[in-house]
Each structure stands twice: as structure tokens, then as C-alpha cells.
Structure 1
Amino acid sequence: MNRLIAAIPALVTLATMAVPAAATPEPSTAHAVCGAAQPGHVRCYAQVRGDVHGTHGVRPLAAPPQGYGPADLRDAYDLPETGAAHQTIAIVDMGDDPSAEADLAVYRQTYGLPPCTTENGCFKKVNQRGDASPLPQDWGWGPEISLDLDMASAACPSCSILLVEADDPGLANAAEAENTAVALGADVVSNSYGIDESNGLDKFAAAYKHPGVAIVASSGDSGYGIPSFPAVLDSVVGVGGTSLTKADNARGWTESAWNRASSGCSAWFAKPAWQHDENCPGRMVADVAAVADPNTGPAVYDSYDGYGWTVIGGTSASAPYLSGVIALAGHAERFGDASSLYTAVSGLNDVTAGSNARYTDCGGDYQCTSGPGYDGPTGMGTPAGLAAFGG
């Protein structure tokens, strides 16, 4: 694969710089669920709060868990409570979480969402070959899996959920799991993982391109810099992240770019015809966004790793939530790429504040700084109802 950009212009040079004043402070208690990945392996992008020590089991709504619940997120993004019951959201993760279904049941019961179980046909868990057994070993992705299942449920409680667990975080196994998810009937496939783009990754691109199926991926949690694969593919909806807080305004909420949500200009993947930002000659990430800041993040239930009720963020939260929004609208077939988001005339909140220039400066350019219209950290914006998603 030929490198598209021989030398990144000075405006987007990846030089280490001081964090600009626009960047918000990172919560000192948030830490990555997945550590550094081995070469050729992906890592998950979940960020768990270390200062939230919740109880275990179903909680009464009179004393809800800390963090945003489904009703909060529906209000923030102006979404209906119910939608496309015929849609299936596939979650692709690495390794097994033996408590995934049981923990999902606690989350859904706490918030009054309908049961989603193996018994009633709503939930299914398989390995990367599509079989119920043998399931892979635990790769430490339990909190990530819980986050993915809970966020998909929060956005589309009437959707079916397919959890595909890859043997390990290797790129080839992730690609096989992706193909399996589609073969088993997924309308939307959510991927909360990635690896820095580099030469040779194009050989896995076909696994993330399936006409009629929406493929969604997290942009990453390293701020402005090298784009993440598979979010950088033009067949994938790349999801950035915001900080979301309640506010005394007409919307009732305010959002700014989360300072760790990744964005970047590809040096390896060509710019799609439907993307028109001026200063990046390659594919630009992200396309759209939702809440990702763990300091303003969602409540998640994970008993397998001992957390119980906690708060988990990262673009690992925004990707499955956007997957649920696409499924809720009922027209996932329109999202074989992100092009429709760039032509939407309504249905998106334009995020105009915040920066993700944590370690690398882009000179205040849209690639790392939110402003009116398109920007790297939040793409075209966040959901404002279902109009931009075909609903």
C-alpha cells in the first residue's frame, strides 16, 4: 500500500507540544481497561473511573447508580424510548466475559428495560466462528464488554444483541469475528477497539465493509494524532467523544469535545469523495460523536471484574451508543459508510467547544479543535433525535 502523504504539513505535524488552555483536565481517577497492546493486536478504549465504588445487584431507581442512565441519555440526545425491534446489534470484543448476560440483566432490570436473554431470543453469545462453545479465554476485556452491552441497550432497548468474542486481540481474529457478526445477521456491528494505522492494515479492510450493514468503530482515546484502525476506513462510521453535562439552557445539556477523544488525518487511507474538510488530504477521523468522557460518563454494571456499579467512558462508550442509535432509527442499510451524516440537514448537535490537543498541537485547526461545522474530535456532531440516522 503506497503512503498517501509523504510529509504531513506543518499544521498537522505530530510534534510534542504543551496542552492548550482549551483542553479540559483529565480525571485523575480514570484508567484504561486495556493496557498497551502487543504488535499486531488491537486494544480496547474503555476508561473506568477508580473513584466510583458501587454496590452489586439490581438498584432501585429511587437510588440510581452514579453516572448517566438510559433516560438521561435519551433526554440528552432527544431519542424515543422504543424503536426498531427487528434490528440486531453485534458487539465484537476480545476474549470471554462469563458474566456478560447476567450483568446485562442487572443493568436492564435496574433501568426498567425489557429483558434481553438467551432464553427469550434477544441475546446470543458466540465465539469468532459463530459457535456457542468453546468460548475463548479471558483477555481482561470484561469491563469493555459490559460497557458495550449496556450502551447498546441504553440506545435501543428493543434491539437484539449478538456478542461475538474473538479468540484473542489479534487483527486476524478480530476480522474473523467481524465477518461472523455479519454472517449471523447483524444490522449494525459495534467495535470499541483499534490500533494505530500503519502500512499493511488494508489487508483487513474487507472485514469491515459489508453492503447493507453499518460498521461502527471508536476513534480512540489518545487525543489528536495518528488515526485508529478500523475507524479510519471509509466503510466505517468513526465515532469520537464528548464531555456531556446538564445545563440550564434550551436543550438542557451542553457538550464539548472530550480532551482524549482521538482524531487524525490518515497517511495511509484515501479521502472518501463525500468528505470535504480542507486541511487533510487523506481520510479524516471522526465522523460523529457521543458522550465519552468518564468524568461525565454512563453508569455500567460489571460484576465479573469486581466493580459492580461503576462509571466507564472512553470512545468505547460512544461507539456502541451510536450503534444503538443507528439501529433504533431502523435504517442501518444506509450506513455502509458515513456519507449521509455529511449531508444531513438536521438531527445533529453541532459541538463547537473543546480540544483534544493533549500532546500534539494542530495550531487551533479543526483537526483537533471543535468549532462550527465539521471538526475532528466530534465529526459532524452528536445525535439530536433520529433525523440524521434515517428515523
Structure 2
Amino acid sequence: MRTTTPNSPHISGRWRRVSSAAAATAALLLAGVGTAVHANAAAPATPTPDTKAVAAQVAKAHVRYEKACAATPKKGYAACDALRVTGGTTAFMEKQAALKGVTPKAVTPDAAASDPTGYGPSDLQSAYGLTDAAASSGSGRTVAIVDAYDDPNAEADLATYRSYYGLSACTTANGCFKKVGQTGSTTSLPSADSGWAGEISLDVDMVSAACPNCSILLVEAKSASDANLGTAVNEAVKLGAKYVSNSYGGSESSSDTTYDSSYYNHPGVAITASAGDSGYGAEYPAASKYVTAVGGTTLSTSSSSRGWTESVWRTSSTEGTGSGCSADDAKPSWQTDTGCTKRMIADVSAVADPATGVSVYDTYGADGTGWNTYGGTSASSPLIAAVYALAGTPGSSDYPAQYPYKAAGTSALNDVTSGSNGTCTTSYFCTAGSGYDGPTGWGTPEGVSAFTG
């Protein structure tokens, strides 16, 4: 059983998914969900580009995962956008096995894992052109993570993640890490929740991966209500954070414009928000005109000069990155697409597909089994917040969501041009193409220059 709180919207249903995107390949390679039959069992020590492509398809075809938090939060509440892999093999595992010429071991649900099974800091820095910036930038800059409930093991788990990957210590003692409740107290913390603890571990690990020199401020709301999460955002800004990540969302409502002015309107602060994990459709606070809405991609190695390739993340008709035209929020002045008269989601994107997911270390609760692979736009939001931190302090009157629009069409962003996250009447709302599109915005980072004013 999961550890929950009486008022938590958290549920424990296990979700098993088979990707339709790789159905043709998977039909030949898999006897069924949970059957480990791999195309590259006899792969050479140095895989060809074709082998790499097949490995990514195979992983996507039979990875299984579950939602960390409530699938459908009640009105006025949000759910975290974290997805934990529970079975199958990830793209990272397939890639490592192909390099060694062996068959990868499948993820075992709820069993302690001694080694990472997803992308780590060097992978993510390579994919997004951050290697040089990550090594030299970020010192003295604080990225705030806003989540609901407490993760009692947050600091200890973060220490394990950073130690494994050779990153410098980030602790309360050395001033790099700080955990507070939504009022700023370091002692009066909310009740613990295992689902949100996984989300917290994902968030702090992704900031560490992209910006190892950044300090981390974890602000824990006492519940997943929009009001409490918004209060935590205000507290993060009050405590000096210039970069704030929000890896959660819920349905839009007529109250959103009030929440905008009360919680998310912070000039001079880069606030990011996950676009959602339910496929085509808008959620809040990604729909806020004051935040950078972050979509999700499938990230795989390739033989290109970049060494990586991306497409829109979509696992099924109801699972994939969110996108769309807001029903309630006004369009910001820097957003000029003509098909949506209100706020369009997303602005930019990064990896989110659980099959090409990221390594996370989490030990709290029934699902805190050590090393796990996570996906969801909960991965992409803190990554982008950390990229903003690498890029430098925003202008005091700026809304940093506009920065990528100034770099649109340049080499500062990787334009994602393939894939869709659902069916829509206006093509770019749900389908990738050259230039701006809803699922991936203007694309993914290639260095930091698109995220500076």
C-alpha cells in the first residue's frame, strides 16, 4: 500500500501501457506486455544507428508505468505530472545493453534497484547542449521547486543521486539545499505523501542534472489545492528564487485569471509549469500567461551531428504531452500564432516520455525503491527552470516566458517537427511541424541563449 494522507487526492492504481507508435516493431518483438524479448540481444559492441533506433522503439513498445499522483484531481486541486516506470526496459537500458552486446534486464516493479535505469546528467546535458554551461554556470542562483506534501527523505535521496553522478554535495549544511513549508518554516512541514515524494525527487534531481552548481529551494504546500500550491509559489519568490518550477496541473476554470494575479504574476522570475500528461488538452497553471508552459518529447540517440533526436511524446490517445488553446487565459503579447485567440500551450519542451525517461533516486514510501526511471512533463518543467538558471538572472520587469520567442527559428532551439499528441481541428494545436507548434512550442534547448533576456 502507498503511504497517503487523509486529504490527499493521491490514488494507487497501476497503469500499464503499450505504445502504438512502435506497434509494428513490437508485434514482432514482444510476445506480450511483461515478456522480455529484445531485438538487440546479439547486438555488436558498437551499435549502428539502425540498432539505436530499434532499441528506442522496442523500449517505447513495452515499457510500463504508473501515475505518481491522482489521475483526475477534484476541482480546485492539482495532480503531479510524474510517471514512474514499473516494468519493461527503457531506452537508456537498451542503449547500454547494445553497447555491451547483451540483453538488458527488465525493470522489476517495486523491487529495490541498485543502478540507474534512465538518462543521467551527462545524457541530458549532451542532448540539450548544456555541458559547458553546466560546468561553469549557476553558482549563487537558486531554483525553487514547488510541490505538495512532504518528502522526508528529500535531502538524503538528493545526496545519493548527486554522489552517484559525481556532482558536488548539495545540503542544508553547506547552504545549497533548503526545504520549507508554504509559509517559509523549516520546521512546520506538511504531512508526507509517497506519490508526491517521488515527484519531489524527480524535480530536485532534474535541477541537479541540468544545473549542478545551482542551489535548490524546496517549498512544500500543505495540500495539492490550487490555493496552497499558489501560496507556495509566492513563498518561493519571497525567499529570493528567480527560477520556480511547478510540475503539476489541473483542469482550467474561471478562477484561473484570479490565480494568475494572486500567485503567478512575478516579473523578473522565470516560472515554469508542466503542460500535462493526458495528451491533447490544456491544463492550469501551464495556461497562465505569466509562466513558461513546458511540453514533453521522446528523446532518443541518433547518428545526427547533434547525436540525439526528438519527437512529440505520445503513448496512447490519453497519455502524452499536453497542449492546446486555453479557454480562460488571455494571450500574452509575445505569442502571435493566429489559430488561438487566448493563451496557447506550450512555449518550449524537453524529454518527458517514460520510455526515454530519466533516472531518479527515491526511497520514501512503498514506491520509493531506490533507483527508478521517471517521465511525464514533471521531468521537463524542472529541466527548463534549470536552463533558465544557467542562462542568468532575468530582467527585473521581464516575463521570461517571452525569451524563447525572441530566439524562435534560430540554432538556440532544437525544432521538433514530428509526432502529435492527439486529434484537433487546428493542426498545430496537437501536431508538430516546422516552427511553432502546441506540443513542443518552439522546441527544446540547444544551449542557454534562448532563455536569457
Same fold (TM over 0.5): yes
How far, CA to CA, are the matches of 2:361 and 2:216 in structure 1? 17
Cα deviation, residue 28, structure 1? 5.3
Specify every segment of 5 or more residues in structure 1 that has no aligned partner in the other structure, as ranges.
1-18
Cα deviation, residue 38, structure 1? 2.5
- Is 1:30 paired with 2:60? no
Q: Give the number of the structure whose alpha-carbon radius of gyration is greater.
A: 2
Sort the Cα spacing of 1:133 and 1:269 in 2 relative to 1 into closer, same or farther, 3 A: same
- Is 1:208 paired with 2:264? yes
Per-residue deviation, residues 42-79 of structure 1 (Å, max 9, x unmatched): 1100011001349869x6xxxx5111000001111111
Q: How does 1:343-362 map to 2 (within 5 A)?
A: 343-344=406-407, 345-357=410-422, 361-362=423-424
Partner of 1:71: 122
Equivalent residues of 1:342, 1:380 under 8 A apart: yes
Cα deviation, residue 338, structure 1? 1.5
How far, CA to CA, are the matches of 2:359 and 2:341 in structure 1? 39
Cα deviation, residue 365, structure 1? 0.4
AA aligned to 1:315 is T
Partner of 1:5: none
Given candidates 49, 55, 60, the residue that maps to 2:85 is: 49
Partner of 1:151: 206
Given candidates 341, 364, 378, the residue that maps to 2:404 is: 341
How far, CA to CA, are the matches of 1:294 and 1:28 in structure 2? 8
2:430 counterpart SS class: coil
Partner of 1:186: 241
Q: How does 1:348-387 map to 2 (within 5 A)?
A: 348-357=413-422, 361-363=423-425, 365-387=427-449
Scaled by the length of structure 1, the TM-score of the pair is: 0.89
Sort the Cα spacing of 1:233 and 1:143 in 2 relative to 1 into closer, same or farther, 3 A: same
Equivalent residues of 1:257, 1:370 under 8 A apart: yes
- Is 1:98 paired with 2:159? no
How far, CA to CA, are the matches of 2:63 and 2:120 in structure 1? 23
How far, CA to CA, are the matches of 1:333 and 1:326 in structure 2? 12
Equivalent residues of 1:299, 1:311 under 8 A apart: yes
Equivalent residues of 1:22, 1:355 under 8 A apart: no
Equivalent residues of 2:256, 2:328 under 8 A apart: no
Partner of 2:217: 162
How far, CA to CA, are the matches of 1:177 and 1:327 in structure 2? 19
Sort the Cα spacing of 1:234 and 1:300 in 2 relative to 1 into closer, same or farther, 3 A: same
How far, CA to CA, are the matches of 1:348 and 1:22 in structure 2? 27
Partner of 1:132: 186
Equivalent residues of 2:20, 2:61 under 8 A apart: no
AA aligned to 1:389 is F
2:253 counterpart SS class: coil
How far, CA to CA, are the matches of 1:37 and 1:328 in structure 2? 33
2:250 counterpart SS class: strand
Partner of 2:344: 284
Equivalent residues of 2:287, 2:343 under 8 A apart: yes
Given candidates 164, 174, 177, the residue that maps to 1:110 is: 164
Equivalent residues of 2:65, 2:354 under 8 A apart: yes
AA aligned to 1:47 is L
Scaled by the length of structure 2, the TM-score of the pair is: 0.77
Cα deviation, residue 89, structure 1? 0.3
Given candidates 243, 251, 269, the residue that maps to 1:196 is: 251
Partner of 1:270: 330
How far, CA to CA, are the matches of 2:400 and 2:305 in structure 1? 32
Equivalent residues of 2:147, 2:220 under 8 A apart: yes
Equivalent residues of 1:187, 1:333 under 8 A apart: no
AA aligned to 1:219 is A
Partner of 1:122: 176
Specify every segment of 5 or more residues in structure 2 that has no aligned partner in the other structure, as ranges.
1-18, 24-56, 88-106, 315-319
Structure with the higher helix share, 1 or 2: 2
Sort the Cα spacing of 1:313 and 1:333 in 2 relative to 1 into closer, same or farther, 3 A: farther
How far, CA to CA, are the matches of 1:247 and 1:220 in structure 2? 27
2:234 counterpart SS class: helix
Partner of 1:39: 75
Equivalent residues of 2:112, 2:371 under 8 A apart: yes
Equivalent residues of 1:95, 1:138 under 8 A apart: yes
Cα deviation, residue 128, structure 1? 0.3
Equivalent residues of 2:256, 2:288 under 8 A apart: no
Partner of 2:139: 85
AA aligned to 1:222 is S
Higher RCO (C-alpha under 8 Å, 6+ residues apart): 1
How far, CA to CA, are the matches of 2:439 and 2:22 in structure 1? 13
How far, CA to CA, are the matches of 2:22 and 2:164 in structure 1? 37
- Is 1:176 paired with 2:231? yes
Cα deviation, residue 107, structure 1? 0.2
Q: Among all aligned residue pairs of Structure 1 and Structure 2, give the percentage whose two residues are the same amino acid.
A: 53
Sort the Cα spacing of 1:270 and 1:252 in 2 relative to 1 into closer, same or farther, 3 A: same
